Amino acid sequence: MKVGGLIRVPGDKSITHRLLMLAAMARGVSYIGGALTSLDARSTAACLRRLGADISPLRPGSVTRIAGRGRLSRPRTRLHCGNAGTTARLLLGLLAAHRFETELTGDRSLRRRPMARVTVPLGRMGARFTPGNAPTLPLSVRGGTLAPLRWDLPVSSAQIKGSLLFAGMAGGVEVSLLEPGGLSRDHSERLLRAFGFGVETRDGRVEFAPSGQVTPFDAQVPGDPSSAAFLVGAALLAEGGELGLPGVGVNPTRTGFLEVLSRMGASVEVHEVEDRFGEPVGTIYARPSALRHTEVRASEIPGLVDEVPLLSVLASRAEGTTIFRDVGELRVKESDRLSLIAANLRAVGAAADVVGNDLHVQGAAPPPKGRIRTDGDHRLAMAFAVLGTVRGARISIDDKDCADVSFPGFFQALREIGKRGA
């Protein structure tokens, strides 16, 4: 396949979730352009509607209108978060500061994901949960007056950090958080700063002061770098051409995958960078490249954890053996992502093994052939679809539709970049 042209990727999933929630907490009407219209984003919008916000339908190419009341209202039914861990965890932070009880649930995959990472510190702040230890969904939260929090996170996680910062914002209390092993994506911090809240980061600790106020706003969501990564990967494996992806968020906490690709010999550049609502946005250009092995350090993982599936399939086409250190967190994503990456790579003829919490992938020359089991994981479906663009590849994916969780129209976009390069 040859690639070519300029193509826009869907809006950033992390920023869409957060802007929708902040708009619901503002008193008045906000407008969000470029919001992601995926299943995850629609789960957030649906939950916020049940909590009293008036939100127009999320449609591609449209501006979303959100009328907030300044606080959330008691829902008449439980909140269904679908497959979205971000929806569940961030909402728990907001609900912790509201004096009513709410039940949250999700799909089969989300009900397996750990929630104690947020319910335990939120409980320290004053929220109450049923069941008491609240390890997973479904669970109920009853909020109220919150106390300040000083907490060391068990893992570096933007969802945990965002949940606790949102609790501090909604409850008007100080929050101090320590992230181990490197800072995770900082969209929550940047957005809260934009509303005048005091947010400082020193030596891995995030200090929040409730000095601001969420007011109605107009914002444009940048393209999602995690979605862009898959099209970048397809361009690197292509036989010719150049691909441009304009308007993509290039926040340094989200572009760790570009640094890894650079070490692997990838021809990837970022140009035309500008600032939008506290977030850097630019155009990513990618060209076919001969890739070599690298070692992805544990300290790098928080900044590229969602791109490990894509990087692993690229590593299967690189010279030598690539090692991803300390990626055990992938076991509690939308699937047991770590085991499935290795198993699926072996299923298509590559050599891959999980050693403790490390992933080893050996590059191979033969075209990949085999059937992929996604377990409903959108990033696995997209990563192995990219691998399927290699000349001579024959890869069958059991659930292509799950890509709609984060990248509606992904397979059409993958075909489109090939048509433009023909």
Q: Which residues are catalytic?
A: 306
Alpha carbons 173 and 47: distance in angstroms, whole number: 25
Q: Which residues of 315-324 are buried (b: 16+ CB within 10 A; e: fewer)?
A: bbbbeebbbb
Question: Any residues with CB less than 8 A from the CB of 120 and at least 6 apart, and which?
Answer: none
Q: Are 300 and 270 in contact (CB under 8 A)?
A: no
Nearest alpha carbon to residue 9 among 235, 187, 185, 244: 244
Question: Any residues with CB less than 8 A from the CB of 382 and at least 6 apart, and which?
Answer: 230, 309, 310, 403, 407, 410
Question: Any residues with CB less than 8 A from the CB of 330 and at least 6 apart, and which?
Answer: 305, 308, 336, 337, 338, 341
Q: Is 27 helix (H, G, I), strand (E, B) or coil?
A: strand
Q: Are 185 and 200 in contact (CB under 8 A)?
A: no
Cα angle, residue 14 at apex, residues 124 and 283 outer, rounded to 5°: 145
Q: Are 303 and 182 in contact (CB under 8 A)?
A: yes
